[in-house]
Structure 1
Amino acid sequence: MPFDPLTLIMLAVLAVLIFFMFRNSRKRQAEAKELQSKVQAGAQVMTNFGVFGTILSIDEEENRVELETSPGTVLTVHRQTIARVVEPAAGTDAPAIESIDGEPEFGERIDGDAGPDDTGSTDASGDAPKKSDD
């Protein structure tokens, strides 16, 4: 029983999809194992619901983690809610968000060129327009 070309193409596509499915599964397992190896007492972490904190203790039997979110505030969460370990920026103490001082206001020009309605406007060649006394 010979296979027609369409059946062969469909089988090839199915094989490729299965290959990528297994590959992505292995990649996710490796990432999860790496994350769990980084989760230790004293690590700065972020939970799935966006809370940042420092791990105080880990209860392996109950799969619970105690996080200190601010001084004196301790949360107990399940170990699987840890989304990622937050690593400090490479050797800088500068804030993560740059200051926006000196940014132009809405509609303000950045490069300081005069607009077409201003008296100092120039044409495309960079020369001032010539006035005729007609």
Structure 2
Amino acid sequence: MTISEQEVAEICVRTMLASDQAAHNLGLTVDQVAAGHVIVSMLVTENLLNGLGTCHGGHIFTLADCAFAFACNSRNQMTVGQHCSITYVNPARRNDRLIAVAKEISQQGRSGLYDVRIANQDGLVVAEFRGHSRAVGGQFVDMEQV
């Protein structure tokens, strides 16, 4: 039986999410999955606010980093982040639903480049994240066991 690229992506992201405690603690949901492309969202709750009453940048970064991780592992190659950066554009506020859209820009050999745009439910851009990935060898999921 041949497993499609879409099925591989869904299995890999579902497997990662099942053991990702940081994602669970933030209440992240995976809304869409494709090879090299993932949409993840979270609700800004009171416990995610900083001293200024806006969403703490570390939580926004974690949302982006999770989307990046899911996207770069969606092709079933064990991959880690090698370098990433984030630019905060607008504050996120309590009860905002933050939507992180991760897309693969380039994947050559062991190196990948991914952009993640985080916007609120109204489409206001909150942050732009760029991640560089590095495949470390091996597969994330043994597809023969699936």
With the shorter chain as reference, the TM-score category is: under 0.3
> Which has more strand, going by share of residues?
2
Normalising to structure 2: TM-score of the pair?
A: 0.21
**Which protein has greater RCO, CA pairs closer than 8 Å, 6+ apart?**
2
Which structure is larger by alpha-carbon Rg, 1 or 2? 1
